[in-house]
A and B are shown apart, each in its own frame.
Chain A
Amino acid sequence: MITAERKPITEIEAMLNPFRRILVVGCGTCVAECAAGGEKEVALLSSALRMDARLKGRKIEVGEVTIDRQCVYEFINELTGFVDHYDAILSLGCGAGVQAVAGLFPKMPVLPGLNTKFIGETKETGLWIENCRACGDCKLGYFAGVCPLTRCAKGLLNGPCGGSKNGVCETNPDTPCAWQMIIDRLEGRGQIDLLQTIFPPVDWSKYEGKGPRKIEREDQRSGS
């Protein structure tokens, strides 16, 4: 999933300051899963905004709505008409959601309520870890299912740096060394020799390409 964290309330309030009628829009998919922008978080943030405004003697109106996916037009369309009543939208979607909503309502200021973080997995309740940078050319088959581009702080593809110690990364004692994980797993399978082939430089054109990437699928288009 795409993970995100809510921005500090002070930053959100500063952004919303020029507006009186605000629609807080949540998203029911990734950011709901990571407890940052789902229905529950929309409700919490909306009451906090109302409460703060009241304490400061400001009159605001905060509307709440959560759609299934903020990154897909057919869901965003549910907001058509409904949004006209408001001065601004505060999106609790990921960066893609904010942009899609802004794209559909170009006259309306659409502001980000979240900081989008990474593609990650729910490791434990309340713990999400980054494990894919969407490089466009998945290499996990070579690395026992641990992505060194993402989970090694230096993105090394040919083994651990000299700072790997006691299983943790030199940059952060809270982060496991990706290479220790890869080596342990391959050793457990008796496949450590797989690492003796030099992995060539990454083809970053699949990542950066000629600017933003897109996927075009004729089969999907004609089907609709």
Chain B
Amino acid sequence: MEVESNLKKVLMNGHFAVTAECGPPKGADPDVIQKKGNILKGYVDSVNVTDNQTGVVRLCSLAACAILKREGLDPVLQMVTRDRNRIALQSDVLGASALGIRNILCLSGDHQSFGNQREAKGVFDIDSIQLIQTVRSMRDEGKVIGGDVLIQPPDLFIGTTENPFADPFQYRVLRLEKKIMAGAEFIQTQCIYNIARFKEWMKQVQDRGIDKKVYILGGITPMKSASMAQYMNTKVAGMDIPDHMIMRMKSVAAKNQREEGIKIAIETIEVLKEIKGIQGIHIMAIEWEEIVPRLVEEAGLYPRPAV
């Protein structure tokens, strides 16, 4: 039976897509992933599995994707270039396709100095844009780096991320364009809190006609508390939470801050729905996957389309 990417079908049919993130456990228990998958099932079109995020050793993304696939979900394999050289990356791309995984997200990855293996050697043999190009050429031309021909090319819908809040701001859109040139078909953005800056970025995206060439999913992370907001803003690389947002979280009693975080997330989703060129959202509820169904329902995005 031909396996197809659900995410690709949803997007190609013009639906507003919903994806969510699932972090694998720091352990070998498959039930954790199964449980997370079952919470998300039916509420999202695809599930991203992070690849040793922030350089912390976790159950591998490929295995977790295979487990989610078995549970009937459409996984997005996140793949960072930090830990594997081009031989291992290309081999995993083939393995993923063989397991019926149909989406890949190509990333450089957080630097190893952030995680629990700070003495590790960062590989970075190729960068994320080169990885996009590599997967694209494996799929469309049936060739690995160097030109050797594959007997059976992998079948993967190719995505990557972009951070509209990083610097140099004036270059972010050019870099996005480069990712599309390399072959990216969908983009998931960094968590959006600074809506003004996001709109400014989207305007540049539209001006250059980039939104016509790629599907863009806006990143959403519901904040659990004011202190989490503060922590993320100062300690997590690439995060931009404006002061007024942090103040808003602080202005409510601690016991109500979760609700406030959810409210902000839903408001942001509503804003994103109205922005031309945004074709979906990507929810990164870090170790809070159980909130995703509620977010999706309250944002009016349930039920998910059957495609």
Contact = CB atoms under 8 A, between A and B. Distances in A.
Contacts of B145: 201
A12 interface: no
Interface stretch (B20-28, B124-132, B264-272): B124-132
B6 interface: no
- DSSP class of A's interface residues: helix, strand, loop or mixed? loop
B238 A165 contact: yes
Interface stretch (B93-101, B159-167, B278-286, B295-303): B159-167
A157 B130 contact: yes
Interface in A186-224: 187, 192, 195-196, 198-202, 204
Interface residues of A, number: 33
B168 to A, nearest CB: 5
Interface in B95-138: 108-111, 113-114, 122, 124-130, 133-134
Interface residues of B, number: 36
Given A158-B130, A177-B167, A201-B125, 17 more contacts: A154-B108, A154-B111, A156-B108, A156-B128, A158-B178, A158-B182, A159-B175, A159-B178, A160-B175, A162-B190, A164-B168, A165-B167, A179-B168, A183-B168, A196-B174, A198-B178, A202-B125
A148 to B, nearest CB: 9
Contacts of B110: 163, 170
B74 interface: no
B185 interface: no
A198 B171 contact: no
A178 to B, nearest CB: 12
Interface of A: 153-167, 170-172, 177, 179-180, 183-184, 187, 192, 195-196, 198-202, 204
Contacts of B124: 154-156
Contact of A159 (B129, B134, B161): B129
A154 B111 CA distance: 7
A202 B129 CA distance: 13
B291 interface: no
B273 interface: no
B82 interface: yes
Nearest to B175: A159
A166 B237 CA distance: 12
Contacts of A153: 111, 113, 122
Contacts of B170: 183, 187
Given A155-B124, A201-B145, A180 B168 contact: yes
B53 to A, nearest CB: 13
A200 B175 CA distance: 15
B236 to A, nearest CB: 9
A74 to B, nearest CB: 37
Contacts of B167: 160, 164-167, 177, 180
B51 interface: no
B168 A163 contact: no
B86 interface: yes
B177 interface: yes
B166 A198 contact: no
Contacts of A177: 167
Contact of B166 (A154, A165, A172, A196): A165
